Amino acid sequence: MKIGITYNLKTDFKNLVLTTEDALEEFDSEKTVDAIAAAITKMGHDAVKLGGGEQVIGKIKNEELSLVFNIAEGVNGRAREAQIPALLELLKMPYTHSDPLTLALTLDKSMTKHVVKSYGVNTPEFLVISDVSELKSENLPEFPLIVKPAWEGSSKGIRMNSKVDDFGELKTQVEWVSKNYSGQPVLIEQFIRGREITVGVVGNNPPQILGMMEIGFKEDTRNDFIYSLEVKRDYEKLVKYTCPPELEEKVATKIEKMALAAYDCLHCKDIARMDFRIDSKLNAYFIEINPLPGLSPEYSDLIIMAEKLGIKHEDVIRKIIENAVRRYNIGEKVESSASF
Ligand SMILES: Nc1ncnc2c1ncn2[C@@H]1O[C@H](COP(=O)(O)OP(=O)(O)OP(=O)(O)O)[C@@H](O)[C@H]1O
Ligand SMILES: [Mg+2]
């Protein structure tokens, strides 16, 4: 097969005037795209780099592709991750990962929380405001709270001071998010003190748990762990990744069930990674989901987790492709040779 790859590189935006230090955080590096291309080649297919701008349309018309491996983040607004998949649907081109509806929905954290909650998945209490003038102390969940831009990922808009302990701090942080994240709504959420577990889910009909990994500080800093921009950027020094995490079986089973329920009710396809927190009473909370999880061979959580489970980067890529091929019923019948 000839497999195209759609993506946005940080370097595509080098002439952009950056409004925040994390403006390009969600975009990929050439290294990630090359690693995906190498995995595709190793499977015996041809890899064609398509990029993520308007040129994708012409390239798709000219290349005889069987499938597109899509990791494009898109640009502008909360439906940005849906842009390339919507275009691929228009062009009748099969592609990996979730469809436009799922990608647009899940980039909006509050919409996602409404959906998972209605399917019985526990998620911290929250509210969304569009302006600081809407803040009223009466209708807030109990402090501490965390303040986030409503439609971001890769810890954009999340810093160590995103956790707020009183109304004054809350107001300052809401103003900071509103000012710096292109006027998007602000999500104010109950801050869950406790352990953080990220979960990978892979496949369709039925999907399976790929693995779970605890993410926390290497050293006891006495501060609550927040996987903030500062912490992610300095992960080698600051972060300890434990996979599998040491969890009581009851808690592990609960989180697995919640992860599969979230994947299912959001109609995810092929793969996703999602975050959970566990409080001191062992209640588990769904925080958010990434149906286009980072696939950097070096620093993406899903890949760190897979490697700790003995699964190579190339096998994760292979698994995503095999699942997409099966969904569309294209290509030769695939016998999985991935190691999981
Ligand atoms: N309700 C919460 N309670 C406790 N910690 C939280 C909560 N929400 C977010 N955090 C902390 O902030 C981090 C980043 O938040 P979140 O996962 O929502 O952002 P993101 O940018 O979408 O992440 P990703 O990089 O996984 O896409 C979490 O990994 C967690 O450490
Ligand atoms: Mg997250």
- How far does the centroid of ligand 1 lie from the alpha carbon of residue 153, in Å? 9
pLDDT of residue 337: 60
pLDDT in tens, 27-65: 889 999 999 999 999 999 999 999 998 899 999 989 999
Q: Decide: 226 in ligand 1 pocket, CB within 6 A.
A: yes
pLDDT of residue 335: 56
If you classify domain 195-328 with CATH, what class do you get? alpha beta
Looking at ligand 1, which residue's alpha carbon is closest to its atom 28? 227
Cβ atoms of residues 12 and 55 within 8 Å: no
pLDDT of residue 338: 61
Q: Decide: 66 in ligand 1 pocket, CB within 6 A.
A: no
From its phi and psi, is residue 338 left (phi > 0), alpha (psi between -120 and 50) or beta?
beta
Measured over the CA atoms of residue 169, residue 171, residue 177 and residue 179, the dihedral's sign is: negative
pLDDT of residue 47: 98
Looking at ligand 1, which residue's alpha carbon is closest to its atom 27? 153
Looking at ligand 1, which residue's alpha carbon is closest to its atom 19? 155
Cβ atoms of residues 248 and 240 within 8 Å: no
- Domain spans of the chain? 2-96, 125-190, 195-328
Q: What are phi and psi for residue 133, nearest 5 degrees?
A: -65, -20
pLDDT of residue 331: 72
Ion ligand 2 residues within 5 Å by Cβ: 275
- Candidate from 287, 302, 304 with most ligand 1 atoms within 8 A of CB, to mutate: 287
Multiple choice CATH, 2-96, 3.40.50.970, 3.40.50.20, 3.40.50.2300, 3.40.630.30: 3.40.50.20
Q: Which amino acid would we find at residue 234?
A: D
Q: Decide: 153 in ligand 1 pocket, CB within 6 A.
A: yes
Q: Decide: 192 in ligand 1 pocket, CB within 6 A.
A: yes
Q: Decide: 196 in ligand 1 pocket, CB within 6 A.
A: yes
pLDDT of residue 334: 52
Residues of the chain with pLDDT under 70: 332-340
pLDDT of residue 58: 93
SS3 assignment for the chain: CEEEEECCEHHHHCCCCCCCCCCCCCCECHHHHHHHHHHHHHCCCEEEEEECCCHHHHHHHHCCCCEEEECCCCCCCCCHHHHHHHHHHHCCCCECCCCHHHHHHHHCHHHHHHHHHHCCCCCCCEEEECCHHHCCHHHCCCCCEEEEECCCCCCCCCCHHHEECCHHHHHHHHHHHHHHCCCCCEEEEECCCCEEEEEEEECCCCCEEEEEEEEEECCCCCCCCCCCHHHHHCHHHHEEEECCCCCCHHHHHHHHHHHHHHHHHCCCCCEEEEEEEECCCCCEEEEEEECCCCCCCCCCHHHHHHHHCCCCHHHHHHHHHHHHHHHHCCCCCCCCCCCC
Q: Decide: 189 in ligand 1 pocket, CB within 6 A.
A: yes
Q: Decide: 305 in ligand 1 pocket, CB within 6 A.
A: no
Q: Cα–Cα distance between 196 and 278 in angstroms, integer?
A: 7
Q: Decide: 25 in ligand 1 pocket, CB within 6 A.
A: no
Q: Decide: 198 in ligand 1 pocket, CB within 6 A.
A: no
Q: Which numbered atom of ligand 1 lies nearest the CA of 301? A: 26
Cβ atoms of residues 72 and 36 within 8 Å: no
pLDDT of residue 29: 93
- Candidate from 288, 295, 302, 305 with most ligand 1 atoms within 8 A of CB, to mutate: 288
Q: Cα–Cα distance between 1 and 328 in angstroms, integer?
A: 14
Multiple choice CATH, 125-190, 3.30.70, 1.20.1300, 3.40.50, 3.30.1490: 3.30.1490
- How far does the centroid of ligand 2 lie from the alpha carbon of residue 115, in Å? 17
User: Does the pTM exceed 0.85?
Assistant: yes
pLDDT in tens, 182-199: 779 999 999 999 999 999
pLDDT of residue 311: 98
- How far does the centroid of ligand 1 lie from the alpha carbon of residue 219, in Å? 20
- Tell me whether strands 239-242 and 2-6 are parallel, antiparallel or unpaired: unpaired
- How far does the centroid of ligand 2 lie from the alpha carbon of residue 275, in Å? 6
Q: Decide: 146 in ligand 1 pocket, CB within 6 A.
A: yes
pLDDT of residue 339: 62
